[in-house]
Amino acid sequence: MFALMADRIVDVLPQGGSQCFPFYIYDEDGTNRQENITDWALAEFRAHYGDGGIGKWDVFHYVYAVLHHPTYRTRYAANLKRMLPHLPFAPDFHAFATAGQQLADLHVGYETAPAYPLRRLETPGATLDWRVEKMKWLDDEKTALRYNAFLTLEGIPAAAHRYRLGNRSALDWLVDQYRVKTDRRSGITHDPNRYSDDPAYIVHLIERVTHVSVETMRLLDALPPLGVE
C-alpha cells in the first residue's frame, strides 16, 4: 500500500487496484461540487479532540499523514491488502495535520521542488548529451546512477531510498519508467526525453525526487507516536 496526493482528477493510476479519495466530489457533468468529508465525520473529530477549530482540510491532511506513518503501515499491512484503511485517532491531531499538509505540498509540487545537490560526473571526452535510453544503478547501495554514456549522478543518500511507493523507492520507479521502450504488441515507442522545452528535464527530475524523498523521510521520522503500538 502507498498513498499519493494529486492536485487534479486522477485518470492514469500508477498501479492496479488504486483508489482515489478526493477532497471534493462532483456530479457526472462536473457540477454540484461537494466536500467529500461529511459533517458527521468532522463532528466526530471535533468531539474526540475537544477542538471546534478543526476543519475539513485539517482532517484531510491528518489522514494523509496517518497513511504514511511507519507504525500504521507495518501493523496493518495485512489488513490494507484486503480492505479500505481504518483510521485511528492519534494522540496529537495537529502534529499529524501539519505534517500531512507538508507532505501533500511536497508530493504535489515534486516537479518544482528544490534540486538535491547530487554530483554530476561527466565522462571525459564525451559529448554533452541529456538523452536517456536506460539508466542503471552502479552499486548495491544505489548511491551512483549511470544516466547515460555522458553523465553519472553520484551522492544519492540512503535516506532517499527509504521513501517507498509500494515495494520500490520513488527513485527506483523513476529509473524504471524514464527509459525508451517499445511495446511488443503495438509497436509504439515510449520516449520520455524532452527535446525542446527542457532537454535536461530528467536529470532535474532525479535531483528533485531525491530532495522530495529525503524531506518525506525527515517529516515521517518526526511524526509523534500513532497511539496503536
Same domain assignment for residues 137 and 163: yes
Final residue in a domain of this structure, among 55, 77, 108: 108
How do beta strands 136-137 and 119-122 pair?
unpaired
Please report whether residue 137 resides in a domain: yes
67/132 same-domain check: no
- Do 85 and 34 belong together in one domain? yes
Supply the range of the domain harboring residue 101. 24-108
Query: What span, in angstroms and rounded, lies between the C-alpha atoms of 20 and 8?
Result: 11
Same domain, 215 and 123: yes
Q: Are residues 32 and 57 in the same domain?
A: yes
Q: How many CB atoms lie within 10 A of CB 218?
A: 12
Alpha-helical (H) ranges within 1-157 are: 39-49, 56-68, 70-75, 77-80, 93-108
CB 66 within 8 A of CB 96: yes
Residue 124 has what pLDDT?
A: 95
86 and 145 together in one domain: no
Model pTM greater than 0.85?
A: yes
DSSP code of residue 223: P
Final residue before a domain boundary, out of 108, 141, 157: 108
Q: What are the E-state strand segments in 54-188?
A: 119-122, 136-137, 144-146, 151-154, 164-165, 168-169, 181-182
Rounded Cα gap, residues 111 and 122, in angstroms: 24
Q: Which residues pair with 164 in a beta bridge?
A: 169
Domain co-membership, 151 together with 86:
no
Residue 214 sits in the same domain as residue 124: yes
Q: What is the pLDDT of residue 4?
A: 80
Residue by residue, pLDDT tens for the chain (229 residues) are 678 888 877 765 555 557 788 899 899 888 999 999 999 999 999 999 999 999 999 999 999 999 999 888 888 778 877 888 889 999 999 999 999 999 999 999 999 999 999 999 999 999 999 999 999 999 999 999 999 999 999 999 999 999 988 788 999 999 999 999 998 899 999 999 987 788 999 999 999 999 999 999 999 999 999 886 6
**Domain shared by 207 and 145, yes or no:** yes
Residue 6 lies in a domain: no
Q: Is residue 79 part of a domain?
A: yes
**Contact call for residues 180 and 132 (beta carbons, < 8 A):** yes
Q: Please indicate, yes or no, whether residues 124 and 215 belong to a single structural domain of this protein.
A: yes
Run of H or E residues at 34: strand 34-35
Q: Would you give the DSSP letter of residue 185?
A: T
What pLDDT score does 14 carry?
53
Verify that 154 and 132 share a domain, yes or no. Answer: yes
b/e code 176-197 from CB counts within 10 Å (16+ = b): eebbeeeeeeeeeeeeeeeeee
Within a domain: residue 16?
A: no
Residue 203 placed within a domain: yes
What is the pLDDT at residue 8? Answer: 77
Do 141 and 212 lie in a common domain?
A: yes
Flag whether 212 is in a domain.
yes
Q: Are 116 and 106 in contact (CB under 8 A)?
A: no
Is position 159 within any domain? yes
In 3D space, the residue among 101, 62, 116, 110 whose CA is nearest the CA of residue 226 turns out to be 62
Beta strand pairing call for 34-35 and 119-122: unpaired
CA distances from 44 to 37, 48, 79, 89, 227 (A): 11, 6, 23, 10, 18
Question: Helices (DSSP H) in 11-55: which residue ranges?
Answer: 39-49
**Which residue, 93, 85, 41, is CA-closest to 227?**
93
Is residue 13 one of the residues assigned to a domain?
Answer: no
Total tally of structural domains belonging to the chain? 2
